[in-house]
Amino acid sequence: MTPAARVAATIELLDRIAEIARPADGVVSAFFRGRRYIGSKDRADIAERVYAVLRHQARLGWWLARLGHSDDGRARVMASLALIDGRSAADIAGLFDGGQYAPARIDAAEREMLARIDGQSIDHPEMPDAARWECPDWAAGPLRAVFGESTEAEAAALLLPAPLDLRVNEAKATREEVLTALAQDGIGAEPTPLSPLGIRVAGRPPLGAHPLFRNGSIEVQDEGSQLVALLVDARSGQQIVDFCAGAGGKTLALAARMAGKGRVVACDVSEGRLIRAKERMKRAGIDNVEPKKLTSERDKWVKRQKGKFDRVLIDAPCSGVGAWRRNPDSRWRPTDIDRLTALQASILSSAGRLVKPGGLLIYATCSLLPPENEERVAAFLAAHADFEIVPVAEAWAVTIGGECPSDGPFLLLTPARHGTDGFFAAILRRSTPDREEGPEPPRPDPSG
């Protein structure tokens, strides 16, 4: 494809993302599947441009509004070429020449717009913080409350492309074996700094067809997600629930840690997600997982299983703020925080019933916002006096070892500080009543 044809494809794809109520990565994949004639290098170039525009959405929108120009895929690509790439107005006009497979010629209004931004950069002194941070208004205040003077650095890190992290399946390989095999195949990789099971891969090699992936020795999983699964402290022979299992990433990590002994119940309200999880379990050689579809967080099954599980993990539905760098379009989807926090509270209250005395309840989100994290835990503890906080440093020493990366009682991982997705986790222990510590003494015989 010519450079102009790639620009035209980028515009078409951006307009399609704006029209379809689906995550951008799914729209991008479908777009390329329907255009097999587009080569791999062209696909990479088009996708890179699309995601660059999505990562600069608020700033590009601010510029277009400031210039009084219409806001669509064509205008955003033009503005991105000027403000992000530093291309001159003349260069951009050369790409929009109306030739075969090229975008239509630049009109008078577009020519004026390009002249006004010629030589400018994407950031501007008059730009408000929320636009500069690429942050929707509903999240800007809570992020500032958490990070204070570091908010700008955290927001900038959430705009960077996420690395490709792998988790080694303990049931099939060691990290050293996987690193050696990847190196032999010319794939650059190194151990992740925090997770003892993690590998960070250089670039974006096509791992889906690699033997290590096909035989289940590796899974794609962010290092932060790996750490949350490790903090569950899954042990052989235990009974464990992954209450919001989704497609099973953490479920697989828990089951592998248990060495095939014991049981993990993978719960979700989506049959489709559980089906995908089953496929991953088969590839990973995991056979101690029981998928369980729930009608809701208050399914009757929960009441029947009350107090039967050693560990209950809740990877709660959330705003996904901590994963913005993976899904740059998700920050602009309508988000009802009040609805989410009400759902999180209901899930915590219901799933907490599953924990046996002395067992652990692990509440996690990929959010960085206090209403979804610390405030949810505080509200749960206020209503459930039989649970207490296990300080994350204490749990870290037992499950991972080394220096815990978080201060305070909870785990809080961020892209800027730790190089992971943003994750929160709280570990709560259910108290053991004194009467359950041993058998009751025999009652005196009243007959004397």
Q: Is the dihedral of CA 84, 87, 93, 94 positive or negative?
A: negative
Amino acid at 135: C
Residue 437 DSSP label: S
Catalytic annotation present for 135 = no
Among the listed residues 38, 9, 8, the one whose alpha carbon sits nearest the alpha carbon of residue 103 = 8
Containing 206, the helix (H) or strand (E) segment is: none
CB 397 within 8 A of CB 404: yes
Specify the DSSP class assigned to residue 326: T
CB 340 within 8 A of CB 318: yes
Note whether 396 and 231 are within 8 A (CB): yes
Among residues 222, 224, 199, the alpha carbon closest in space to that of 210 is found at 199
Spatial separation of the C-alpha atoms in residues 45 and 50, rounded to whole Å: 9
φ/ψ of residue 387, rounded to 5: -115, 145
Distance, CA of 435 to CA of 258 (rounded, Å): 30
Interior CA angle at 10 toward 9 and 16, to 5°? Answer: 90
Task: Name the catalytic one among 135, 267, 366, 404.
Answer: 366
Instruction: Measure Cα distances from 164 to 221, 327, 366 in Å.
Output: 8, 14, 17
What positions carry a catalytic annotation? 366
